[in-house]
Amino acid sequence: LLMAYDPAKRLARLQVSMERAVVNARMIYEILDLQPRQADRADAKPLAISDATVAFQNVRFGYSETETILKGVSFTAEGGKTTALVGPSGAGKSTVINLIPRFYDPVEGEILIDGQDIAHVTKQSLRNAIAYVSQQPYLFEGTIRDNIRYGRPDATDADIEEAARHAYAHDFILAQPLGYDTPVGENGVTLSGGQRQRLSIARALVRNAPILLLDEATSALDTESEQAVQKALDEAMSGRTVVVIAHRLSTVVRADKIIVMQDGQVAEEGTHEALAGRDNGLYARLNSLQAPAGSTDK
């Protein structure tokens, strides 16, 4: 059984299933540890976390040399607080998130965690400090237990159950034919969208990482699942530095800080109260457009 967790085998299995799936870079976040090791700088040191404050300082970045996506982005996501990224599609919110685990490096500027430039720390220590929950949780071939353990390969069964309880997943897992040993994925049981999200949250929780990157789902779940997912997310967010691409008004309103992005720049930042009250502010305008619809804000 231990062999099943051999990283090389898991990667091979993953590659097979990724070929079948539409390859989505977002999936990669959920398996931060399984990324092939890229070389660290010779002088790279392990990241030392104190309060897990993440700071962007004048970050410029493009996916290719000919385009600039982030045009000098600066903001601070305070340790233990929730920072919500909002703004029109294409503004660069996902790109900001992509840079934190160093899937890409800035062309100019720095990203600091507790004052340390992440370009100068070991990738392993950086990624160990980060958990990610994507919009579309990806389940691998394997059991429910395996799927949670992807978050931390050395997690014990007790760790996995604890994470599942905190993610409000334990009860529905026990209701499956083989409990934690129930196969999921293409050849396994079919789980609802809300159940998949809670498994993905359990996977993030088992990492016990101080920084949580969250791409909030846009698709509406039924009210009951929505509430369970929200409770699970509240558990996951508590006490962590959270950077969330927020789609729900309730998340934005509760955030400690809102970063409004537009065209690769930070257009405004502040709390909901401060930004909503600005005459002709971008946030105030976005907010007045979103609020009456309320469709994604259950």
CB 207 within 8 A of CB 126: no
The phi, psi pair for 59, rounded to 5°, reads: -80, 125
Q: How far out from the chain centre does Cα 236 lie?
A: 11
Cβ at position 289, least distance to ligand ATP in Å: 15
Cβ at position 104, least distance to ligand ATP in Å: 8
Cβ at position 179, least distance to ligand ATP in Å: 36
In the bound state with ligand ATP, the residue whose beta carbon lies nearer, of 100 and 184, is 100
Cβ at position 96, least distance to ligand ATP in Å: 7
Residue 17 structure tokens: 């299933």
Residue 54 structure tokens: 């993440």
Q: Half-sphere exposure of 257 toward its Cβ, with a 13 Å CA cutoff? A: 17
Question: Is residue 5 close enough to count as binding ligand ATP by CB under 6 A?
Answer: no
Cβ at position 25, least distance to ligand ATP in Å: 5
Distances (CA, A) of 225 to 167, 169, 251: 12, 11, 17
In the bound state with ligand ATP, the residue whose beta carbon lies nearer, of 64 and 223, is 64
| DSSP tag of 250 | H
Cβ at position 83, least distance to ligand ATP in Å: 15
Contact code string over 22-61 relative to ligand ATP, x by CB under 6 A: ---x------------------------------------
Contact code string over 76-115 relative to ligand ATP, x by CB under 6 A: -----------x-xxxxxxx--------------------
Cβ at position 129, least distance to ligand ATP in Å: 22
In the bound state with ligand ATP, the residue whose beta carbon lies nearer, of 79 and 92, is 92
Using CB atoms within 10 Å of the CB of residue 161, give its burial: 0 to 12 exposed, 13 to 18 middle, 19+ buried: buried
- Residue labelled with tokens 């990624």: 127
In the bound state with ligand ATP, the residue whose beta carbon lies nearer, of 24 and 288, is 24
In the bound state with ligand ATP, the residue whose beta carbon lies nearer, of 69 and 228, is 69
| CB environment 12-24: b (16+ within 10 A), e (fewer) | eebeebbeeeeee
Task: Out of 63, 178, 234, 238, name the contact with ligand ATP by CB under 6 A.
Answer: 63
Nearest CA among 274, 248, 270, 273 for reference residue 260: 270
In the bound state with ligand ATP, the residue whose beta carbon lies nearer, of 94 and 208, is 94
Distances (CA, A) of 93 to 121, 161, 244: 24, 33, 9
The phi, psi pair for 129, rounded to 5°, reads: -85, -5
In the bound state with ligand ATP, the residue whose beta carbon lies nearer, of 93 and 149, is 93
In the bound state with ligand ATP, the residue whose beta carbon lies nearer, of 49 and 91, is 91
Q: How many residues bind ligand ATP (CB under 6 A)?
A: 11
Chain residues in the site for ligand ATP (CB under 6 A): 25, 63, 69, 87, 89-95
